Amino acid sequence: MKRSLLVFGVVVAAAAALTAVAFARHSSTLTLNGTDGPGYTINLKIGGKAVSKLKTGTYKVVISDRAAMHGWSLDGPNGFAKDLSPVPFVGTKTVTLKLKAGKYKFYCPAHEATMFGHFTVA
């Protein structure tokens, strides 16, 4: 008797957890993960994959700035320009960005010629 109640409780909890995940997928904004450093590297990924195309909309952007000598900036259409993590900063910055259609370039402001990447929002 006690065991069957426990099993029932676990099943109910699992169902509740699944429901919560289903809701989260539909209601929360997608997260983009940007990094700079160590070394001369800069990236922007979504779900572990390099970002190349995104749909227009609102995104949570989490930048992991791993080097004081590097930063993480983003340029886009119509004069869009955001310095998400300045050069001396090391740590994590989180911002919410509304991305409109166009071409975007992320780069390190100190080494823009070699540390950059592009993606398109459509």
Binding of Cu ion by 110 (CB under 5 A): yes
Binding mask 71-100 for Cu ion (x = CB under 5 A): ------------------------------
CB of 54 to Cu ion, least distance (A): 24
Q: Does 111 bind Cu ion (CB under 5 A)?
A: yes
Residue among 46, 43, 49 nearest 85 (CA)? 43
Enumerate residues 56-75 that contact Cu ion by CB under 5 A.
70
Do residues 43 and 35 make contact, with C-beta atoms less than 8 angstroms apart? Answer: yes
R_g of the chain computed on alpha carbons: 20
